[in-house]
Amino acid sequence: MAIKIPPVSEIAKDTYVINEFGLTAMYLLVGSDRALLLDTGCGLTELPDLIANITDKPLMVALTHGHLDHVGGIGQFDRIHLHPADYEMAANCDFERLRGYVDSLGKMGSYDAFGISPDMVREPEKLPEMKPLHDGDRIDLGGRQIQVIHIPGHTPGGLCFLDESVRILFSGDACNTNLLAQNTPVSETQRALLYLQTFAGRYDRMWNGHVGYAGNFLTCCQPDSTLSDLLTICERILSGTAEPKEFPFLGRTLCAYEYGVARMSYDPENL
């Protein structure tokens, strides 16, 4: 029988990854006073029901960024927290495009693995209240503090969340092995990733916004060298020593360059 509830794994004490059918990953962090949900996925999941099976603590919802595959479920909540630079993106989610995203990953394997369809994406009747999160903010869950780190590049308002109690950095899409940063100058992405590197001694594992991609059930953190490989990529692009591949993207010509475990897509006219 097809799986209709997203697989949930406990990746550290009171720390859960919700694999939304190979489409995106969400995280639930439970403290002694309240719980924090990072991202809301594509909106295929009744998140309040799912979370109620794990914890009855009051819930705060925060977003790593405003892209459609992370904001699809925001209508299920009264209030969400994110960086103000991504407010507009989150408020104007194109649900038809989101259905197209679900369908493309569905055809890549999620339809074989899970009982899902694009019709499960529901447009919210009302938007939640949006509250700001900024670099340096601390979220106190009771017995665990989460530090907010602003990492622009993938989107202007990209946020990472550092939880030193379990030594995990939740990087969203701001730092992963396939970094899409085509709307940001490479020098700005580099500056943000160098800033992220200053936190290196404070976590052991980095989990990003997509695990178990499409029909692949694999749920694991990213390779340790992801950030340093991305920094090598930025350095080589900016010094002119990279040999990137060009590819067409929505009427533009973008470049992609790979090093180690990582790949970055960028606009060669916007270094």
Binding site for Zn ion (CB under 5 A): 67, 173
The end-to-end CA distance of the chain, in Å, is 50
Q: Which residue is nearest to Zn ion (CB)?
A: 67
Q: How far is the CB of 238 from Zn ion (least distance, A)?
A: 23
Q: How far is the CB of 181 from Zn ion (least distance, A)?
A: 10
Nearest residue to 159 (alpha-carbon basis) of 33, 61, 44 = 61
Helix, strand, coil % over all residues of the chain, rounded to 5: 25, 30, 45
Closer Cβ to Zn ion, 66 or 106, answer by number: 66
Pairing verdict, β 205-208 and 168-172: parallel
Closer Cβ to Zn ion, 6 or 209, answer by number: 209
Closer Cβ to Zn ion, 20 or 173, answer by number: 173
Closer Cβ to Zn ion, 144 or 210, answer by number: 210
The sheet with strand 35-38 has its strands ordered as 8-12, 15-20, 24-30, 35-38, 59-62, 79-82, 129-132
Half-sphere exposure of 17 (CA within 13 A, CB side): 25
Q: How far is the CB of 121 from Zn ion (least distance, A)?
A: 16
165 contacts 144 by C-beta, under 8 angstroms: yes
Q: How far is the CB of 63 from Zn ion (least distance, A)?
A: 10
Q: How far is the CB of 2 from Zn ion (least distance, A)?
A: 27
Q: What is the DSSP letter of 114?
A: B
